[in-house]
């Protein structure tokens, strides 16, 4: 079994005042030597969060694929590292939708992040119409093929399966659906990367809460969670960390 990783994605939420929640999360994470915990606040808070994170990993929610240059509004992997980020999320479905990010671009971002030494979480997940049409595994398999880099070091590449219809909706995938998809992803990783594929942690994301976390963590090949709304408050996030142990 791989060591579980619980990541909070604050999305476009949080201010300096919100960092009080981070302090409580840091305390809880310190008490759990058996679980890896990270928080990805908005870019404006990364430096502040890293300064008070203790052993907690702080990450970014996106990165540009180039190291520098004329890309207004973007930040590079080296810039994120410099202010204390140790990981980054790429290819979140909200970016695939809002910014029309495609698999090739996500792969380039992942390559740049890994090259800079950032642990990289690549997100995949199907829409509700895809699932209704019985195409969920096919869609996710194609995303894996297009967005995963070929070259990575053990521990540095992480996957997050986030069905779009479960994000922020309170609708959680059933343990059976999660088991089916995570097994399909694991098979796909084994085909592509051989034995090393077994070292990639596969997180589940989509309405993970204190009351469903334990059930999700018990599913085979669920190696942690990517948590949105419930990561904004320590009261909701800490029980999820505890359920992972
Ligand atoms: P929620 O936990 O709010 O459903 O968000 C999941 C997510 O998108 C995390 O990246």
**Would you give the distance in Å from CA 124 to the centre of its chain?**
10
| Residue 245 · residue 185 · CB < 8 Å | no
Write down the pLDDT at residue 54. 87
Write down the pLDDT at residue 181. 98
Number of neighbouring beta carbons within 10 Å of residue 129: 11
Residue 91, ligand 1, Cβ within 6 A: no
162 is catalytic: yes
> Ligand 1, closest atom to CA 230?
2
Write down the pLDDT at residue 245. 87
The pairing of strands 57-60 and 36-40 is parallel
Number of neighbouring beta carbons within 10 Å of residue 70: 6
Cα separation of 107 and 103, whole Å? 6
Mutate which of 59, 171, 229 to test ligand 1's pocket (most atoms within 8 Å of Cβ)? 229
Residue 168, ligand 1, Cβ within 6 A: yes
Write down the pLDDT at residue 243. 97
Domains of the chain: 4-30+41-86+98-116+126-243 (3.20.20.70)
Cα separation of 222 and 167, whole Å? 17
Report yes or no on whether pTM surpasses 0.95.
yes
| Residue 240 · residue 213 · CB < 8 Å | yes
> Ligand 1, closest atom to CA 229?
3
The string of pLDDT tens digits covering residues 119-173 is 999 999 999 999 999 999 999 999 999 999 999 999 999 999 999 999 999 999 9
Q: Give kind and range of the element (H or E) at residue 57.
A: strand 57-60
Å from CA of 8 to ligand 1 middle: 8
Write down the pLDDT at residue 28. 87
Residue 227, ligand 1, Cβ within 6 A: yes
The radius of gyration of the chain's CA atoms, rounded to the nearest angstrom, is 17
92 is catalytic: yes
Å from CA of 159 to ligand 1 middle: 14
List the residue whose alpha carbon is closest to atom 7 of ligand 1.
228
Walk along the chain (245 residues) and give the pLDDT tens digit of each residue: 899 999 999 999 999 999 999 999 999 888 888 999 999 999 999 999 999 998 899 999 999 999 999 999 999 999 999 999 999 999 999 999 999 999 999 999 999 999 999 999 999 999 999 999 999 999 999 999 999 999 999 999 999 999 999 999 999 999 999 999 999 999 999 999 999 999 999 999 999 999 999 999 999 999 999 999 999 999 999 999 999 98
Percent of the chain as helix, strand, coil, to the nearest 5 = 45, 15, 40
Residue 167, ligand 1, Cβ within 6 A: yes
List the residue whose alpha carbon is closest to atom 2 of ligand 1.
228
Write down the pLDDT at residue 78. 98
Q: Which of 21, 64, 92, 126 is catalytic?
A: 92
Tell me the two tokens of residue 144: 């894996």
**Would you give the distance in Å from CA 116 to the centre of its chain?**
18
Write down the pLDDT at residue 55. 81
The pairing of strands 57-60 and 87-90 is parallel
């Amino acid at each position: 079994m791989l060591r579980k990783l619980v990541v909070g994605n604050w999305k476009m939420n949080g201010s300096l005042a919100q960092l009080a929640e981070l302090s409580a999360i840091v305390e809880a994470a310190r008490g759990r030597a058996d679980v890896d915990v990270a928080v990805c606040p908005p870019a404006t808070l990364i430096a502040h969060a890293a300064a008070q994170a203790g052993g907690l990993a702080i990450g970014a929610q996106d990165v540009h694929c180039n190291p520098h240059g004329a890309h207004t509004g973007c930040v590079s992997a080296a810039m994120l590292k410099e202010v204390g980020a140790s990981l980054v999320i790429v290819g979140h479905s909200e970016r695939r939708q809002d910014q029309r990010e495609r698999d090739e671009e996500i792969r380039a971002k992942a390559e740049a992040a890994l090259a800079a030494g950032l642990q990289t979480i690549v997100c995949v997940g199907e829409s509700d119409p895809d699932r209704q049409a019985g195409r969920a595994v096919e869609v996710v398999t194609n995303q894996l093929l297009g967005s995963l880099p070929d070259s990575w070091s053990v521990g540095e590449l992480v996957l997050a399966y986030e069905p779009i219809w479960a994000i922020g909706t309170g609708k959680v995938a059933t343990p059976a659906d999660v088991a089916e998809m995570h097994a399909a992803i694991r098979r796909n990783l084994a085909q592509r990367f051989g034995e090393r594929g077994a070292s990639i942690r596969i997180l589940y994301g989509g309405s993970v809460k204190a009351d469903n976390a334990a059930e999700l963590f018990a599913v085979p090949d669920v190696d942690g969670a990517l948590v949105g709304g419930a990561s904004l408050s320590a009261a909701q996030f800490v029980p999820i960390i505890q359920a992972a142990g």
